[in-house]
Structure 1
Amino acid sequence: MSDAVRDAWQAIEASPRRTLAQLFAADADRVGKLSARLDWDDGGAIFDWSKTHLDDDLLAAFEELAAARDFAGRRSALLSGETVNTTEGRAAEHTAQRGIGARDSVEEAAQLHHRMHLLVDAIHRGALGEVRHLIHIGIGGSALGPKLAIDALARDSDGGDGALVDVHVVSNIDGLALEQAFAACDPATTMIAVASKTFTTIETMTNAASAIEWLRQAGVNDPYGRVVALTAAPDKAVEWGIDETRVLPFSESVGGRYSLWSSIGFPIALGVGWEAFDTMLAGAHAVDVHFRDTDGRANLPLRAAFADQFYTRVRGCQTRAVFAYDERLALLPFYLQQLEMESNGKRVTANGDPVDGPTAPITWGGVGTDGQHAVFQLLHQGTIEVPVDFIASVAPGDVLDPAHHQILLTNCFAQGAALMAGGNMAADGKDPARAFPGDRPSATILLDDVDAAALGALIAFHEHRTFANAVLMGINPFDQFGVELGKKMARDIETGGGDFDPSTEALLEAAGLSA
C-alpha cells in the first residue's frame, strides 16, 4: 500500500460518524448533492445515494483515494483497450461492443454485430425454416445476461404479445433443466444456441450433445444444421460439427460475465428483436460516456463505489442487498451476484500481494414486495447492518388498475424511509420488540421505465461500479480463478484420480461414484 493510499484511508476512517438524520438536518441540499439524473435517448433514471452515510468530508477523502489508486489512469486503460486483466495478459473490451474502446476493437465488434444481425434477420424471415423456439445453452455469463434481458424485455415485445421467438435458457447440468426446455418446445421448429467462450465448458457441451440427440430422436434430419454457436473459439465449434455460417464469434478480450453485448446476446436479438438489442447497446453506451467523461464524486458508478467501500471496509458490512420493485427485473440480483462476486471476490491485489481489508461483500436480494414479507425483518431489526439498493420504475409494466403500481412504488419508497428513520410502533413508544433502530443505509435507482435502453444502462452502471470498486481496492476484477479448483476436482473424480478427504470419499461411495 502506498503512502498516498494509506493517508486516504486514514482520512476516511477518521471522518466524523454522524447518523443519516443528522446528515440531512445539517445539509438542506443533501439530496441535490447526492442524487442525480442520468439521461439517455427516450429515458433516464435518478440515482439517489442521499440515504447513505456519504458526506462532503467522506467524498473528498474518497476522491483522494481514487487519485492515489490512479482511478483516471485505470479507467483510461480499460476504455482504450489496454491490458487490464494482468493475470491473464489481456484487455477487457466489453465497452468496445458498445462503441468505446480501441478503434480496431470497436470496428471488429461492429462487423460481428452486423454478422449476427444478418443471421437474426434471416431466421425471422423464415430463411432457415419455421423457427418458433430457441434453446440457449450456456452457463455463468453466457446464460445469466441473456436470461435477465429476455425475462425483462420479452413481456413487452411484439406489441405486448410475447417474444418473437420463444427462448429457453438452460445452464444447469441437472438434466431436469434441459428436459423442461424440451417439454416446452417442438423439435421441428426449434433451434439450439450453444454459448461457450472456449467451446469446452463441460456443462454446456454435455447439454449441447443431449440437445442434438433430442433433435435426432425427434426425426430432425440434420440436427447440427439447427445449431448456432456463440464462441471466442470458432474453430472448435466447426470441429464440433456446426457450419461456419452459423458460428457467431466474439473477441477473446470480452469476459464471460461482460459478454451479453457480444454474440452472446444472440438469443436476446432473436427473442425480442434486433432493435431491442441495439437499443440496449445504446443505453449502455450512454452510461459509458458518463463514466468516461465525469470525474470525482459526480461520476455515478464511482460514487456508488465510494459508498460500497465505506460500508464494507469501515462499517464491516459483509453483504449488500438488491431489491427490484419491478417484476421485469426479478433476475437482476442473480445477475449482479456473478458480476460483483466473481469480479471482486479476491484475496490478493493485482500485484499478487495479500489484500489489506475486505473485498466484495456478498450480493443478494429479491423482488419487492415479496421480500418485505420474508427477509426485511432482518434488515429493519436484525443485528447485522446491510446496505440496500432499491430499484424501481416510474412506468408500470402492466395495464391493470394503476393501484397495483402505486402500491408497489409507495412500498419501495417507504422501505428506504423506514430503514433510515426507525422508531417504535408501540402505543407508548416503549416496547423494545416494536423498536426499530433506524440509521440503516439504502440507495435508490428510479428508472423512467424498464425498457431496452434502461436495462442496458442499468447493467453498464453496475459493470462500471464493479470496476471502480476493484480500482479502489487495487485488485484485478477480470480473472476468476476461484471457479477452477472445484472443476479440477470434479474431473479428478470422473477420471478416477485424486486423493480426497474421508468425508468426500464416503459421499462418493454412498452415491455410487467411487472407483
Structure 2
Amino acid sequence: MPNTNAPAWKALAAHRDQSAGVHLRDLFAADPERFSRFSVGLEGLLVDFSKQRIDAQTLKHLIDLAETARLAEWRDRLFSGDKINFSEKRAVLHPALRNLKLGAFPSVEDDVMPEVRAVRAQMRTFSEKVRGGLWRGFSGEAIRDVVNIGIGGSDLGPKMVVRCLSAYQRAGMRLHFVSNVDSAHMAKLFEMLDPRTTLFVVASKTFSTQETMLNAHTAREWLCAAAGEDCARALPLHFVAVTSDVTRAAAFGLPEANVFKIWDWVGGRYSLWSAVGLPIALSIGMNGFERLLAGAQAMDTHFREAPFEKNLPVLMALIGIWNTNFLGAATSAVLPYHESLRFLPSFLQQLEMESNGKTVGRDGQALSCQANPIVWGEIGSNGQHAFFQLLHQGGWLVPSDFIASAQSDFPLPGHQAPLMANFLAQSAALAFGKTEQEARAELEAAQVPSEQIASLLPHKVFAGNQPSTTIILPRLDPYHLGMLLALYEHKVFVQGVIWGINSFDQWGVELGKQLAGRLLPALTGETGTDGLDQSTRALIAWCREYGDF
C-alpha cells in the first residue's frame, strides 16, 4: 500500500494546505515562464501541464514521492521481464510487442522476440494477401468487409485505433467490431454484409470468452447457411483466430495456419500491439501498424531514460495523484477535440479503471488512500453543449485532458481553425474563469440596465481554477498515436506503483462472470432460483414472463 505516513506524502499534504487559496490566475501572474516551465515536447508531441494547480514545490514533493515508492526500480523490473503481475505469476511484457530493435528482449535468457517477430511476419503475409485481393472467399471473391469479434481489450483497443487512423484506411475495405452479446449488434451487421466477401477475426486469449464465442458461433452459422455444402471449405477462408489456445480454435474448425498466437504475458488492455491488432494491420497495412509500434517504442525509451522532472508518463501520473489524493478529485475527464479520437475515452476507461480501480494493495492490505478516479469523457465539441456547464459552474473539481492535433486528417476549408479555437478556449476558460468584476464590466459595456445587472451578475461569474492538461499532436498519424497510447499506459503503471497496486490483474471482472454463469440456466428454466437473493429471483421471474429465451 502507499506509505501515507512517509515524509513525502506528509509534505504534499502540508503543501496542499499552504497553497489552498492560490488560484491558477495567481500562478500564471507570478511566473511569466510558466508555460515553458511546465510543458514538455517530444518528437512533435506537446504536453502542457501549466494549467494544472501545481508549482515548482509541488513537483519537487511529487518527485520525492515517486522516489519513496522506488519508481525507478519498478520501471526496471517492468522492462527486465520480472513477474510483477504477482497474483497471476506473470511477467508484463507488452513493451516487447512494440520492440522493433534487433537483439533479445527482455534478456538473452528470456528472449520473447523470436515468437513476437514470427507472429508479426504472419500478420504481414496475411494482411498483404487480404488487402491485395489475393485472399479469396469460398466463391472466389476478394474480401471487402472485416468483422472483429472480441470484447474488452480485444475490442476496445483495435476499434479505437482503426477509428483513429481511418484517414489511412485502405479504400474499399470496411472494418466492423462486434462485442455485445445483444443480438442487435450482430443481426444489424448481417444485413449489410455479404458472406462471400466477409472475413471474421475472432479474438479471445482463451477462446472461451462467453460473449465472444457466442457471437463467433452465430457468425459461423450465418456463413455456413450461405456456403451450404461448402461450409467446411469456407470456414478457414472466412475465419481466423487470435488466441493462445490452438486446440480450441481447431475444435471451432480452424487449422493452425489460421491462428495468430498471443501469450499469457499480454494483458487484454495492453494487447492492441499484438495480433489482437490484426484488424489495424488489415485497415492501414502492416507498415502503418509498425509505425504505430515505433511511436509506442519511442515513448517506452523516453519513459526509461528521461529524468522524472521531464518524463511525460511520470509527470502525468504524479499530477493525477496530486489531483486525486490531495486536491480531492473523484473523476477525470478525457476531452478529445478530434472526431477520429471518438473511442479514446472508452479505451482509457478500461486502461485506467481496470488497472487501478482497486482498494487492495500488492501486500493484500486495504489501501490507505483512494486510488483511481472515475474516468469519463466525450468529443469536446459535443461536450461543450452538454456537460461543460457543470465543469464551469457545477462546483465539482474535475481535472481534464484536452487532446487535439494541429492538422486535420480530413481537411475541409474553414473547419480546423474554429475547432482549435474552441479547444484552446475551453481549457483557458476552465482555468481562469470570470470574476464578478469582469462580468460586471462586460454587462455595463453592453449597456445592460443596472437593475438587470444585479440579477444577472451571479449567473455570469465563473470560478475557474479547474485543472487541465493540454495534449497536442502535430497530426493524428500512426507514429504519434502510438506515442500517445504508450504515454497513458506508462502513466497508469506509475500510478499503480505509487498506490501500491498490481495494475495488471483484474479480479473484479470475474465475479459478475461467475454469477452470470449461475443465472443463465435459471433464466432459461433449466434450474430453479433457490439460493438467490429475492431481488434477483423476482427479476428472473419477470424476465421469464415477458422475455423470449
What TM-score, normalized to structure 1? Answer: 0.95
Q: 1:384 aligns with which of 378, 396, 402?
A: 396
Aligned to 1:99: 99
Q: Distance in 2 between the 1:14 and 1:229 partners?
A: 54
Structure 1 counterpart of 2:134, one-letter code? A
Alpha-carbon displacement from aligned partner over 1:252-293 (angstroms, at most 9, x marks no partner) = 100000000000000110122111111100111111110011
Q: Would you say 1:62 and 2:62 are equivalent positions?
A: yes
* 8 Å contact kept, 1:165–1:272: no
Change (3 A) 1:2 1:46: closer
Q: Distance in 2 between the 1:377 and 1:439 partners?
A: 15
Aligned to 1:312: 324
Change (3 A) 1:54 1:105: farther
Q: Distance in 1 between the 2:90 and 2:468 partners?
A: 36
Q: How does 1:26-105 map to 2 (within 5 A)?
A: 26-39=30-43, 44-99=44-99, 101-103=105-107, 104-105=111-112
Aligned to 1:360: 372
* 8 Å contact kept, 2:165–2:284: yes
* 8 Å contact kept, 1:138–1:204: yes
Q: Would you say 1:176 and 2:175 are equivalent positions?
A: no
Structure 2 counterpart of 1:208, one-letter code? A
* 8 Å contact kept, 1:5–1:65: no
Q: 1:501 aligns with which of 504, 514, 533?
A: 533
Q: How does 1:156-171 map to 2 (within 5 A)?
A: 156-158=168-170, 162=171, 165-171=173-179
Aligned to 1:192: 200
Larger Rg: 2
* 8 Å contact kept, 2:203–2:276: yes
Aligned to 1:121: 128
Q: 1:210 aligns with which of 215, 218, 224?
A: 218
Q: 1:416 aligns with which of 416, 427, 442?
A: 427
- 1:450, distance to aligned residue in structure 2 (A): 0.6
Q: Distance in 1 between the 2:134 and 2:2 partners?
A: 61
Q: Distance in 2 between the 1:82 and 1:239 partners?
A: 34
Q: Would you say 1:436 and 2:462 are equivalent positions?
A: yes
Q: Distance in 1 between the 2:419 and 2:88 partners?
A: 45
Q: 1:144 aligns with which of 156, 159, 182?
A: 156
Q: 2:357 aligns with which of 335, 342, 345?
A: 345
Q: Distance in 2 between the 1:389 and 1:195 partners?
A: 31
Change (3 A) 1:184 1:435: same
Local SS of the residue matching 2:370: coil
Aligned to 2:348: 336
Q: Distance in 2 between the 1:185 and 1:151 partners?
A: 19
Structure 1 counterpart of 2:272, one-letter code? L
Local SS of the residue matching 2:167: coil
Q: Would you say 1:512 and 2:532 are equivalent positions?
A: no
- 1:218, distance to aligned residue in structure 2 (A): 1.5
Q: 2:289 aligns with which of 272, 277, 291?
A: 277
* 8 Å contact kept, 2:409–2:476: yes
* 8 Å contact kept, 1:492–1:498: no
Q: Distance in 2 between the 1:2 and 1:282 partners?
A: 34
Aligned to 1:404: 415
Using the aligned pairs only, state the percent identity: 40
Q: Distance in 1 between the 2:472 and 2:508 partners?
A: 34
* 8 Å contact kept, 2:299–2:486: yes
Change (3 A) 1:22 1:498: farther
Question: Which sections of structure 2, spanning at least 5 residues, go unmatched?
Answer: 137-141, 445-452, 522-526
Structure 2 counterpart of 1:216, one-letter code? C
Local SS of the residue matching 1:155: helix
- 1:351, distance to aligned residue in structure 2 (A): 1.1
Q: Distance in 1 between the 2:2 and 2:387 partners?
A: 41
| More displaced stretch, 202-211 vs 434-443 | 434-443
Alpha-carbon displacement from aligned partner over 1:97-137 (angstroms, at most 9, x marks no partner) = 01184141233212211121111122233333111111110
Aligned to 1:19: 23
Q: Distance in 2 between the 1:373 and 1:239 partners?
A: 51
| More displaced stretch, 178-187 vs 258-267 | 178-187
Q: Distance in 1 between the 2:121 and 2:220 partners?
A: 27
- 1:456, distance to aligned residue in structure 2 (A): 1.0
Q: Distance in 2 between the 1:102 and 1:234 partners?
A: 25
* 8 Å contact kept, 1:4–1:68: no
Q: How does 1:481-496 map to 2 (within 5 A)?
A: 481-495=507-521, 496=527
- 1:498, distance to aligned residue in structure 2 (A): 6.9
- 1:399, distance to aligned residue in structure 2 (A): 2.7
Q: 1:480 aligns with which of 489, 502, 506?
A: 506
What TM-score, normalized to structure 2? Answer: 0.89
Q: Distance in 2 between the 1:143 and 1:483 partners?
A: 16
| More displaced stretch, 233-242 vs 375-384 | 233-242
Alpha-carbon displacement from aligned partner over 1:38-76 (angstroms, at most 9, x marks no partner) = 11xxxx210001100121111111111111111001111
Structure 2 counterpart of 1:419, one-letter code? L
Q: Distance in 2 between the 1:328 and 1:135 partners?
A: 19
Change (3 A) 1:357 1:413: same
- 1:167, distance to aligned residue in structure 2 (A): 1.1
Q: Distance in 1 between the 2:130 and 2:348 partners?
A: 31
Structure 2 counterpart of 1:506, one-letter code? A
Structure 1 counterpart of 2:531, one-letter code? D
| More displaced stretch, 212-221 vs 404-413 | 212-221
Aligned to 2:524: none
- 1:4, distance to aligned residue in structure 2 (A): 8.7
